[in-house]
Amino acid sequence: METGGGNSLPGVGQDATKRKVCYFYDPEIGNYYYGQGHPMKPHRIRMTHALLAHYGLLGNLQVYKPNPARDRDLCRFHADDYVAFLRSISPETQQDQMRALKRFNVGEDCPVFDGLYPFCQAYAGGSVGGAVKLNHGHDIAINWAGGLHHAKKCEASGFCYVNDIVLAILELLKHHERVLYVDIDIHHGDGVEEAFYTTDRVMTVSFHKFGDYFPGTGDIRDIGYGKGKYYSLNVPLDDGIDDESYQSLFKPIMGKVMEVFRPGAVVLQCGADSLSGDRLGCFNLSIRGHAECVKYMRSFNVPLLLLGGGGYTIRNVARCWCYETGVALGVEVDDKMPPHEYYEYFGPDYTLHVAPSNMENKNSRQQLDEIRARLLDNLSKIRHAPSVQFQERPPDTEFPEQDEDQEDADERHDPASDMDVDGSKHPDETSRKPCSNNIQNEAQKVGGDHAKVAEPMAEDVSGPKASDVSSMAIDEPGSVKAEQQDTQNKLPETPVFAHQKP
């Protein structure tokens, strides 16, 4: 691999152009520890990084250590009191904070652990930093520590504390009129969908297991609301879905989405719990099948933010995200794994790829055809990409990242630690708690932050709900003319923004 300077090797066909790729990694990330028996293991990010280093892929990337997201960065989506709580809580003080723990849903699935706040700052800083890079000429930005899609404005959920994805999308919206969010984690991308449920500036598309499964949302009938109607897409899937079935939906749906929505930037959450053999998952995707989604979204040549997410059989998570980093670069990574410090995790074959299982695929051809037809029909109701008129652009989030030297901190996990089985599970349902914070944040101003009901919303819901009519500001004409932006998808873009600082 001889190319440097952040340019990838040329691929083939429509992917033949090189991409300028950057990658965010905090060497401390693998030291954060959710606690004994907890399936979420930040160590998998360090394992991924070690594979990238030993495959020689880091030489083809610009590697950055993320600047920690500051309070004010997190408060662009999250409630002030929730952020203050995350900053102040510690394992030593949590007994005195029982009411707050309950209110913010912190304690069990989302435990308090040493360094919780710097952990949140690191993973959110990587995603926002990646968005800033995409806003300034990079083609692809990668943050495998990000993708924590369940976090809500004032509540932790499903191992997620702050929603780095929402924050990154808000950053991208400073430069792009429309941003597409795609989620291939096995769980519904509920936190991101909810934040942007009532806006047409962000389309969210989630492919997930649906039915008696965390978080319980993501019904095909949930399509967005108000101006956001038809701008949320949910693809409900059943156990055992294989590569072929998955791609029979992914490509036609995402092809149509790209055609009708024409985003200026794409955020792809690459949750690896949709892989075969995941400790919490029930799908049967191979790494190649999962990575096909990355390859396909990359082929549109639109600025692309690749994020991590779930993934609980950590040796396979590292395999997957290493392979997908290669896809981002246009490099086919060797199956034979180079020796490295975590080599023993990958025995007995020491290969990058693992065969999917022979589990039953419960998704019938007919079901898949019906889902595809229904979603394509919904997409046909979007006549043309929405356009907004305005405005002055807010300043970028300033992140003077430094190039990172690639040192690995020591580990405190043993190789078998992703194989243990314990009682920690996602809850079946979310319970949404009232949020007392009245500070208006930016997701609200792009028409997000309605308090969506926990039950799937029927398509024919009649009349607005008080909680759904928060759409504001974004489509009102502003007073300052915008600069024209060049975008790679050749759309005349009018950069917009949704902020009005109080």
List contacts with Zn ion (CB under 5 A).
Answer: 185, 187, 271, 273, 310
CB of 274 to Zn ion, least distance (A): 8
CB of 249 to Zn ion, least distance (A): 18
CB of 400 to Zn ion, least distance (A): 33
Q: For Zn ion, which is the closer residue by CB, 200 or 278?
A: 278
Q: Is 190 annotated as a binding residue?
A: no
Phi-psi region of 163 (alpha: psi -120 to 50; beta: other; left: phi over 0): beta
The Cα 298–Cα 330 span in angstroms is 10
Residue nearest to Zn ion (CB): 310
Q: Is 55 annotated as a binding residue?
A: no
Q: For Zn ion, which is the closer residue by CB, 11 or 236?
A: 236
Q: Hey, is 324 helix, strand or coil?
A: helix
CB of 215 to Zn ion, least distance (A): 9
How far from 315 is each of 66, 122, 193, 409, CA to CA, in Å? Answer: 24, 22, 29, 18
Q: Is 158 annotated as a binding residue?
A: yes
* 3-state DSSP of 167-186: HHHHHHCCCCCCEEEEECCC
The Cα 430–Cα 77 span in angstroms is 19
Q: Hey, is 203 helix, strand or coil?
A: strand
Residue showing tokens 């065969």: 355
Q: Please check whether residue 482 is in contact with residue 387, taking contact to mean a CB–CB distance below 8 angstroms.
A: no
CB of 277 to Zn ion, least distance (A): 14
Asked about 150 being catalytic, the answer comes back as yes
Q: Is 30 annotated as a binding residue?
A: no
Q: Hey, is 80 helix, strand or coil?
A: helix
Q: What counts of helices (H) and strands (E) characterise the chain?
A: 12, 9
SS3 content of the chain, % helix, strand, coil (to 5): 30, 10, 55
List the beta strands (DSSP E) in 131-227: 140-143, 179-183, 202-209
How far from 486 is each of 45, 137, 240, 367, CA to CA, in Å? Answer: 34, 10, 42, 41
CB of 114 to Zn ion, least distance (A): 24
Phi/psi for 266 (5° steps) reads -125, 135
Q: For Zn ion, which is the closer residue by CB, 10 or 211?
A: 211
Q: For Zn ion, which is the closer residue by CB, 85 or 321?
A: 321
CB of 186 to Zn ion, least distance (A): 5
Dihedral sign from CA coordinates of 17, 297, 448, 100: negative
Cβ-Cβ contacts under 8 Å for 372 (sequence gap 6 or more) = 248, 249, 252, 253
Q: Is 243 annotated as a binding residue?
A: no
Q: Hey, is 4 helix, strand or coil?
A: coil
Cβ-Cβ contacts under 8 Å for 66 (sequence gap 6 or more) = 24, 25, 26, 122, 123, 125, 126, 129, 143, 399, 401
CB of 418 to Zn ion, least distance (A): 15
Q: For Zn ion, which is the closer residue by CB, 145 or 388?
A: 145
Q: Is 246 annotated as a binding residue?
A: no
What DSSP element (H or E) covers 72? helix 71-74
Q: For Zn ion, which is the closer residue by CB, 282 or 329?
A: 282
Q: For Zn ion, which is the closer residue by CB, 49 or 187?
A: 187
Strand partners, 305: 141, 267
Q: What pairing do the DSSP bridges indicate for beta strands 140-143 and 232-237?
A: unpaired
Q: For Zn ion, which is the closer residue by CB, 165 or 331?
A: 165
The Cα 240–Cα 281 span in angstroms is 10
Q: For Zn ion, which is the closer residue by CB, 218 or 310?
A: 310
Residue of 150, 175, 450, 499 marked active site: 150
CB of 46 to Zn ion, least distance (A): 20
Closest CA to 121 of 158, 81, 167: 167
The Cα 278–Cα 268 span in angstroms is 20
Q: Which residues are annotated as catalytic? A: 150
Binding positions for a divalent metal cation: 185, 187, 273
Binding positions: 109, 158, 185, 187, 273, 312
Binding positions for substrate: 109, 158, 312
